Amino acid sequence: MSVERSSGADGGLVAALSFPLTTNRRALGAAVVAVVTYVGLVLSSFPAYSAQMLGADLGYLDDAVLALTANTYASIGPFGLSLVVAYAVLTGVALTNVATQLRLQDVSGVRDLLGVVPGLLASGCASCGAGVLGLLGVAGSLAAMPFDGNLLRLAGIVLLLFFLARSGDPRSCRVS
C-alpha cells in the first residue's frame, strides 16, 4: 500500500488527523476512544462524586457525566471545556494511528507515534485536573495556575499535535 505524505509539518498533521476517517471502522474506533477518554476525564475531575454516583448504580453514569460537564464548564469556562473535548478527540486519533502502525510495521517503526505519549500525559493530566492531582495530594495546583490551568492544557494539546504532525499517516513508510 503506497500512501504519499505531504512534505512539511502541516501535511503530516493533516495526514495524521484524517487517517481515522479513511474507513468507517477506524472512524468508529476513534470516536469510541474519544468518548471513553472524555468520560474518564470528566469523571476524574471530581472523583469522590463519581465514585459515589457510580457506586450507587451504573445507571447514574449519564447523570454524573452531565453534572460534571456542567461543573467543568462552570469552573474552567467554555475555552477550558473545549480543550478537554479537543484532547479527547486527539487521543482517539493518536491511539487509532498507533494501533495501525503497530499492526503494519515493526516495533522500530512505531517510535514516531509513541512520541505522542508525552503529549497524551501532559494534556491528559491537565485536562482531568483535580482528579489525578487530587490523588497525588496537590488538588489545588491547577487552580493556582493562571487561567485555571488552561495554558497547561493548551500546551499539552500543542505537544500532542506536534507529535502527530511528526508521525503523519501511519500507513506511510518513511525512509530517511
Q: Is residue 32 part of a domain?
A: yes
pLDDT at 29: 92
In a domain, 59, yes or no: yes
- Say if 82 falls within a structural domain: yes
Look at residue 99 and tell me if it is in a domain. yes
List, in order, residues 6 or more apart from 156 with CB less than 8 Å away: 87, 119, 121, 122, 123, 124, 125, 126, 127
pLDDT at position 15 is 86
Residues of the chain with confidence (pLDDT) below 50: 1-7, 129-131, 134, 175-176
Classify residue 51: in a domain, yes or no.
yes
When divided into structural domains, the chain yields a total of 1
Q: What's the pLDDT at 28?
A: 95
Residue 121 inside a domain? The answer is no
Question: Among the residues of 19-57, which ranges form H helices?
Answer: 24-44, 47-56
pLDDT of amino acid 131: 46
Residue 170 grid cell: 501511519
Quote the pTM value: 0.74
Structural domain contains residue 175: no
**Does residue 176 fall inside a structural domain?**
no
Question: For 153-156, which contacts have Cβ atoms below 8 Å and span 24 or more sequence positions?
Answer: 153/80, 153/83, 153/84, 153/87, 153/123, 153/126, 153/127, 154/83, 155/122, 155/123, 155/126, 156/87, 156/119, 156/121, 156/122, 156/123, 156/124, 156/125, 156/126, 156/127
Domain that holds residue 79: 21-104+126-167
What is the structure's pLDDT at 32? 95
